[in-house]
Structure 1
Amino acid sequence: MLQSESLTQQKHIKELEDRIEEQERYHRQWSLCLYRLPEREGEDLKKIVIDICRAIAPETESVLLLFVDICHRLGWRMEGTTRPVMIRFISRAIKKTFLKTKKFYFKEDLSAKNKEICKCLLLTVNLFSDEQMTYRWPFTIVISR
């Protein structure tokens, strides 16, 4: 009886974890992480991000303030490191415009579970170290010969 209840509870917990993961993945579709942006004391991060977006997509300048919903640095400040900036856009289409740029290093905002999957994929890809490879996230690896 207890064992049956335990199995039922474990199954229910797994289902809830999967639902939470799916919700997290869904909400991250509007977000990007910007890496290697130097950190300054007292910075106006939203202004800096909007200036970067203006440089990348000048055609959007008239409504740029509306495009960026939220932006902030992730994690704790540590000497000698630059924290990534999470940028949340008002739509996925706008996010895709900025993801395509080559001027800065933008990266998809992946959940912890998806990051682990990507790490496993990279370990697998390293087996093909003599091949030329292109990575497209999430989870697409193109091997060109």
Structure 2
Amino acid sequence: IDAERYKRKWCLRLYGAPEAENEKVKVKVMEICKGVVPELTAKMSEAVDVAHRLGRLVVGRARAIIIPLALRWVRDIIWKRPKNSSYLEEHKLRFGEDLTKEEKASRALLCPYVQKACNEGKKAYFIGSKAFVDGREIVPEKNGYYLIPADFEA
């Protein structure tokens, strides 16, 4: 599982990109990435080795695109930059992490607690399958969530 998780950390998923017959997915992905991070235009052909659609074709619904990136630092910039990208907003696109089934299940369990913390004005976010509130990992409990102390070591 760790090998699969490591491999997936190099990938991003792109949602909302319209499909066209005989499309060149890699070219489309590179153009979108250049729109999000224009200063990396020169590195894009090196970073995006391949890209393809996921799943079966369903009429009227665009399939997600999986993008394995050859340069991890480029992947990290592309992942972080879209948070305020007008390009993605205008084109109704979004990037997502390539998560395992276990990570998706863990996030689904923790999501209500992260949402609650956000509603309380706290900084809450996910890193992989773990959730954090104000920089500290949380563990779900019956009556809410429990913050793991910052100095705790497993």
User: What's the TM-score bracket when you normalise by the shorter of the two chains?
Assistant: 0.7 to 0.9
> 1:80-99 counterparts in 2 under 5 A?
80-99=60-79
2:59 corresponds in structure 1 to 79
- AA partner of residue 12 (structure 2): L
Residue 122 of structure 1 corresponds to: 111
- Residue of structure 2 in register with 1:136 after alignment: 126
| Structure 1 residue 56 displacement after superposition | 1.8
Q: Give the superposition deviation at 1:135.
A: 3.2
Q: Bigger relative contact order, structure 1 or 2, given CA contacts below 8 A and separation 6+?
A: 1
What SS is found at the alignment partner of 1:81?
coil
TM-score with structure 1 length normalisation? 0.73
**Partner SS state of residue 82, structure 1:** coil
Return the alpha-carbon distance in structure 2 between the equivalents of residues 125 and 31 of structure 1.
Answer: 24
**Identity, % of aligned pairs?**
32
CA-CA distance at 1:97 after TM superposition: 0.7
Cα distance in 1 between the residues matched to 2:44 and 2:116: 43
Deviation at 1:124, TM superposition (A): 4.4
* Distance in 2 separating the partners of 1:129 and 1:60: 32
Deviations 1:3-25 (A, max 9, x none): xxxxxxxxxxxxxxxxxx11110
Within a 5 Å distance, the mapping from 1:1-145 to structure 2 comes to: 21-102=1-82, 103=85, 104=88, 105-125=94-114, 131-132=120-121, 134-138=124-128, 139-142=130-133
In structure 1, give the amino acid aligned to 2:131: T
Q: Residue 46 of structure 2 aligns to which amino acid in structure 1?
A: L
CA gap of 1:63–1:130, structure 2 versus 1, over 3 A, is closer
CA contact (8 A) 1:108 1:137 kept: no
Contact conserved, 1:136 with 1:142, CA < 8 A, in 2?
no
Unaligned runs of 5+ residues in structure 1 are 1-20
Report how many aligned residue pairs link the two structures: 123
Give 1:119 deviation, angstroms: 1.0
Larger Rg: 1
TM-aligned CA deviation for residue 137 of structure 1: 3.7
The CA deviation at 1:123 is 4.2
TM-superposed CA distance for 1:48, in Å, is 0.6
Shift of 1:80: 2.9
Give 1 or 2: higher helix fraction. Answer: 1
User: What RMSD, in angstroms, separates the aligned Cα atoms of the two structures?
Assistant: 2.2
